[in-house]
Structure 1
Amino acid sequence: MTAAQWMACCELQRVEALALLREVAGLSHATLLAHPDALLGADVAARLQEAALRLHAGEPLAYVLGWREFFGLRFAVSPAVLVPRPETELLVEFALQRIAPQGRARILDLGTGSGAIALAVAHERAHAEVWAVDASEDALAVAAQNARALLPPHRAGGALRLLAGDWFAALPPHPPRFDIILSNPPYVAKGDVHLEMLQHEPQLALVGAAGGDGLADIRRIVAAAPAHLAEGGWLAMEHGYDQAQAVRAMLCAAGLTAVGTQPDLAGIPRMTFGQRPVEGR
């Protein structure tokens, strides 16, 4: 079978078929255009078929490939972690805007998963001290793998700290204050119709242990965050399309100021933030 014949019969979207040919068969799009009659070996054809069946079953392309690009970096992913999404890059951009290129800052990423947010910040700000928390040991193993791949050795094992536990409870006794706390927490309501399309991704990372209206974990984070923020420090959180007003109200009730919401590229209110006041101002 040629590559062109496989593409014609695989019944996948073109972008998915091209991705599989690139990753499994080592055939780039340019090569396919120049040599559509390139023959596929029996072992390659079998692996392509296996990958195609996984996609037909609804498994995300990122899991089939084993990686996903986020903020220009290639992150290993597995069903232990959510697939990083472009809208989550808002959190990284928020942090980078508040840390000078050579500046020092202490960052906390709550619910790090693959480590996408924490590692993107650490990659861009060499002098930042980045802490990352997740309740899943399997997720932290993926984050550690990505740290080794994406950061210099002294960063992967030094200025980046990976901690297992339930939100702020994962921190050691008498932890330092943080200049920026970032989080993409579970925010999908239990029973939401969209969960069926996300069945291959970790449900704990989508709806959280408490379930409910999708705001339970956000409430817990917001309530505890001021005690962990340095004066003038920021909390920024991703949330659902219809949750911005509720999250802004929580931040205001927690005593944070400069509260606002930023939309994603689709214009959907996606990230809400607030700042701990500086005493005496």
Structure 2
Amino acid sequence: MSWTDDAAQPRRVREALGAAAGRFTFSATPRLDAELLMAHALGVSRERLLLRHLDDPAPHAFAALVERRADQEPVAYITGSRAFWTIDLAVGPGALVPRADSETLIEAAVDHFGARMPARILDLGTGPGTLLLAALDQWPAASGLGVDRSTEALAMAQGNAVRLGSATRAVFRIGDWAAGIDERFDLVLANPPYIGTGEPLPPEVRGWEPAGALFAGADGLDDYRRIVPDLPRLLAPGGAAVLEIGASQEAAVSALLRQAGLEVNVRHDLAGHPRALIAT
């Protein structure tokens, strides 16, 4: 694809955006993808791009970014960042890309605690620090522990904590879910793998994101079976665990939580799907 109208006249940003979006037919958000890549190429925010740069010449660097996205590489891996809740996270291969649906867990925790603050927070399977760092930004006096089995993800998490000014309140540790943790927490957050090994996934997910952060046995429940039995000993009095689930897993994971002696409530995402279970 050429990014110029002719040798002397560069293609304008608005035209390049339209052409790029036309190539991203596999994406649910082709125009947004193009805008995020263009903003990255220009070194400006998406908002500034749309307000001030649509009639500028398209930067030559944009072409290479479009080719990467056309190969279905996640936008967050290309730009190296992803907005989540009130923070921006550095992300890359080796860590799950934060999803907007996962913000449902923070919303559920905020509603559960109301005017109270969870002083100590545990994030099981923290990845690049997504849930823990969002929670620490929400509650500036809180502190927390993030656990993951991926050294790559933990390196990203630690870097994100430094960039966000949370390094003194966030500790990250390699680990196997709650094994070896003997502390009690006011809030336990977890977005474990919950995809069944035979379930279809878009190529941009299956082909790029780490399988260990996606798949959890034939029925997608293997990691819940390991996490849930530890929750009663992890929760401080008055505490809550908030777990992300797949859209069809409400009944199965709720049953596991009730078997562990916990009460369960469900929170739906913006699309109306069951997305978070709050266990107390």
| TM-score, with length taken from structure 1 | 0.85
Give runs of aligned pairs for residues 158-197 of structure 1, distance below 5 A. 158-169=168-179, 171=181, 175-194=182-201, 196-197=203-204
Q: Which of 190, 202, 205 is the equivalent residue of 2:210?
A: 202
C-alpha spacing 1:104/1:270, structure 2 compared with 1 (3 Å): closer
CA contact (8 A) 2:125 2:149 kept: yes
Give runs of aligned pairs for residues 105-144 of structure 1, distance below 5 A. 105-144=119-158
- Structure 1 residues without counterparts, runs of 5 or longer: 276-281
| Partner SS state of residue 30, structure 1 | helix
Structure 1 Cα separation of the partners of residues 225 and 236 of structure 2: 20
Counterpart residue number, 1:263 = 268
C-alpha spacing 1:73/1:237, structure 2 compared with 1 (3 Å): same
Structure 1 Cα separation of the partners of residues 227 and 172 of structure 2: 18
Corresponding position: 1:233 with 2:212: no
Counterpart residue number, 1:2 = 11
C-alpha spacing 1:104/1:20, structure 2 compared with 1 (3 Å): closer
Residue-by-residue CA offset, 1:48-87 (whole Å, 9 max, x unaligned): 1211111001111111111111002111110111111111
Structure 1 Cα separation of the partners of residues 211 and 42 of structure 2: 32
CA contact (8 A) 2:73 2:204 kept: no
Residue-by-residue CA offset, 1:209-253 (whole Å, 9 max, x unaligned): xx2210000111001211222233212100111100011111110
Deviation larger for 102-111 or 211-220: 102-111
Counterpart residue number, 2:5 = none
Structure 2 Cα separation of the partners of residues 102 and 274 of structure 1: 17
The offset of 1:159, in angstroms, is 2.3
Structure 1 Cα separation of the partners of residues 115 and 89 of structure 2: 23
Structure 1 Cα separation of the partners of residues 43 and 230 of structure 2: 49
Structure 1 Cα separation of the partners of residues 130 and 199 of structure 2: 25
The offset of 1:126, in angstroms, is 1.7
Counterpart residue number, 1:90 = 104
CA contact (8 A) 1:102 1:127 kept: no
C-alpha spacing 1:107/1:26, structure 2 compared with 1 (3 Å): closer
| Partner SS state of residue 80, structure 1 | coil
| TM-score, with length taken from structure 2 | 0.85
Corresponding residue pairs, total: 258
The offset of 1:6, in angstroms, is 3.2
Structure 2 Cα separation of the partners of residues 205 and 217 of structure 1: 10
CA contact (8 A) 2:267 2:277 kept: yes
Counterpart residue number, 1:25 = 42
RMSD, matched Cα: 2.0
| Partner SS state of residue 62, structure 2 | helix
C-alpha spacing 1:248/1:73, structure 2 compared with 1 (3 Å): same
Counterpart residue number, 1:279 = none
C-alpha spacing 1:104/1:84, structure 2 compared with 1 (3 Å): closer
The offset of 1:102, in angstroms, is 7.3
Structure 1 Cα separation of the partners of residues 259 and 114 of structure 2: 30
| Partner SS state of residue 278, structure 2 | strand
Letter paired with 2:197: K
The offset of 1:143, in angstroms, is 0.6
CA contact (8 A) 1:3 1:32 kept: no
Deviation larger for 133-142 or 199-208: 199-208
- Structure 2 residues without counterparts, runs of 5 or longer: 1-9, 25-29
Deviation larger for 89-98 or 183-192: 89-98
Counterpart residue number, 1:212 = 218
Structure 1 Cα separation of the partners of residues 150 and 138 of structure 2: 26
| Consecutive aligned runs of 4 or more in structure 1 exceeding 4 Å deviation | 98-102
Residue-by-residue CA offset, 1:187-210 (whole Å, 9 max, x unaligned): 0000111264412111100114xx
Letter paired with 2:17: M
C-alpha spacing 1:3/1:107, structure 2 compared with 1 (3 Å): same
Greater helix proportion: 1
